[in-house]
A and B are shown apart, each in its own frame.
Chain A
Amino acid sequence: MAENGNILEAIHVRKEFGGLIAVNDVDFAIPRGTIVSLIGPNGAGKTTFFNILTGVYRPTAGGVLFESTPISGLPPHKVTALGMARTFQNIRLFHNMTARENVMVAMHSRIKGGIWRSIFRTPALKREEAEAVARARELLEFSGLRKKDHDFAKNLSYGDQRRLEVARALATEPKLLLLDEPTAGMNPEETANFTTFVAKLREEQKITVLLIEHDMRVVMGISDRVTVLDYGEKIAEGAPKEIQHDERVIEAYLGSGATG
């Protein structure tokens, strides 16, 4: 399936909570190297779908393939090791760790460590740690957090915390980055900066991005494809231009009266 260039595929995904159908039979694919956005009104099932994609929830029916590997039901750290990283809608940094430590935690699946090697601090381990520190500094700088290495995460400004979340996700060396409402709470200027940053991610780091976003300027500005969910169902999919003029989408967002 991956031969067609999709890094992630969700096939007939369905999720029920008790009697409630949160996601209903959604087919979804993310082509490699693109920025795909997932939008929909509040309560459309976006975050549930997101959690299914990241393996947090096991779908009631259907499955998710990441580079042809089924990931439903895998523990989150294994999904991360495969090359998929996420940020959180409500910032979930390690608040009492420094920015650098936050980034280094995320390298967990990429460095060897080892209890004995750590206790005796072998030359190989020292080298590995030094490389990790250097890479952390690089990532922080790339994310616009230069000289914030030793600041506790909770002492960073809101925008910096958002950036640190991305830097941390990048430290897992993802092929696919999932951003859950990254610009929530940002002012227009920060939002614009962030949008350029995401575009740069794709160009410079060759990372595929899935974006859940409310801000339509962000979505329409950088997405290659947009998927719209409403009441747990996929109601539209396509290029931003098409989505903007799709009647079902307008109806979902503005109510049926708006189309008349």
Chain B
Amino acid sequence: MRNHVGQEAPPKRPARKRLPTSDWSASWRRFRRRHPRARWILPAFALLLAFSYPWWGLEGPLSAIFNDGLGIDSDTLFNISIYVMLALGLNVVVGYAGLLDLGYVAFFALGAYTLGWFGSGLFAQRDIHFLDTSPARLPGIHLSFWVVVILAGVICAIAGVIIGWPTLRLRGDYLAIVTLGFGEIIPDIFRNGDDIHGFNLTNGVRGVTLMDRPGFGVAVHNATGGVLPDRYNSLELRPWYFTVLVMMAIIIFVNLRLRDSKMGRAWIAVREDEVAASAMGVPLMRTKLWAYAIGAIFGGFAGAIYGSFINGIFPTSFSFQISVIVLVMVIVGGMGNIWGVIAGATLISWLNFTGLDKIGNWINSGIPGSGNDIVIAKYKFGIFGALLVLMMLFRPEGLIPSARRKAEFAEGEGPSEYLYDVGVDEARA
């Protein structure tokens, strides 16, 4: 078919400037388009590095740099991977669907408390055991940890829909404020949930302790020749780390698949222009609720395993700071790009847990006359604030932005703002 529209018309207006793309990234994109399977090379390599970290980072010659120098010990490693999970979950909400959520910690908390309900001695008057690895005589509800993880996802998804239903009608700033409120309300419910008409739902400020641990049971343990542990313990941290990595891999996989699906396209369209998206047949409410629910599920997964690892959950562990710091990870890394988000989460959580201490030590010992009195970690949030300001000034698209984000910030000529909305009454002027 010959396209007759504008075929021979030379452009009358100056054509919009093309994006400045370096040859390197252009040829990489072309390579990837031609070899669709090649795009798995880099992620697979990164995942391999992460999986093998206990062997090359915690031990061996490189441990002097990674374990001792940078302070990425097994505890920190676990914490970092938890935050990567959280950041990936929030990325669906903020990065894909563009819904600013300042209360994401609520789902992290809810996931942890799900473990409290179904995998601890909290309800001591009950005695329910199901495929669990805890000693049989323990009172309380003890479901298999893997069942609890799934339950945490389901409960968080439902909570996400319930919270989302009234709030997602709001736009931008208003939504952010409401999510902020929910992020405060949910920990508060946990704080005061020890006496709901005489029922102890959350054990209040005393929190829930002695959580069940993941495990595969003795039968599987023996059948696999001891490779899969029957019950995780607090001395051997590798199984914990590997479990989180597997969860993370699942989250990454789901993230990628959804991004390239009908739903993923709808999310981005909603982020770009709600009115147009809805006019093109995208149901706004359902699309946003899905983003919210999927983000919530991932937060719930992270909460469940985190609660088990630290073996105790307290309302104070789930502060507003976590919502903020996870959001900072997503923004610094590169909203909407999984690899950027992972990089941002790794960097920020490392700084948060041991990095700043280590940097403080270097400064104290490395700069003559500085004494030993600079405690950098004291200025943690000041430093994160400054980092955020610097990022916004010099690299607002994030460390590793998606092609889309890059385009967004390379703006200048594209019509980014509309003069008016269809929603705005265009009665006679």
Contacts and interface: CB of A to CB of B under 8 A. Distances in A.
A106 B277 CA distance: 8
Interface stretch (B177-185, B233-241, B264-272): B264-272
Interface of B: 1, 3-7, 9, 11-13, 15-19, 253-254, 257-258, 261-266, 268-269, 272-273, 275-284, 290, 404-405, 407-408, 411, 413-416, 418-420, 422-423, 425-429
Interface core residue of B7, B272, B418 (most chain A CB under 10 Å): B272
B9 to A, nearest CB: 5
Contact of B4 (A43, A51, A104, A144): A144
Contacts of A92: 273, 275-276, 418
A108 B427 contact: no
Contact of A194 (B5, B262, B404, B427): B5
Nearest to A163: B5
A251 B290 CA distance: 54
Interface in A99-119: 101, 104-111, 113-115, 118-119
Contact of B414 (A155, A187, A189, A197): A155
A168 interface: yes
Contacts of B419: 90
11 contacts: A45-B428, A54-B279, A75-B278, A80-B281, A95-B416, A114-B262, A118-B261, A118-B263, A143-B5, A144-B5, A196-B5
Interface core residue of B13, B254, B414, B422 (most chain A CB under 10 Å): B422
A97 B266 contact: no
B6 A144 contact: yes
Contacts of B6: 144, 159-160, 163, 190, 193
B360 to A, nearest CB: 40
A22 interface: yes
Contacts of B3: 141-144, 146
B407 A109 contact: no
Interface in A145-177: 146, 152, 154-160, 163, 168-169, 171-172
A250 to B, nearest CB: 20
A166 B12 CA distance: 20
Interface core residue of A45, A110, A144 (most chain B CB under 10 Å): A144
A85 B278 CA distance: 11
A56 B423 CA distance: 8
Contact of A77 (B282, B413, B427): B282
B404 A193 contact: no
A95 B1 contact: no
B39 to A, nearest CB: 14
Contacts of A193: 4-6, 9
A15 B416 CA distance: 31
A48 B282 CA distance: 22
Contacts of B423: 56
B268 A156 contact: no
B262 A108 contact: yes
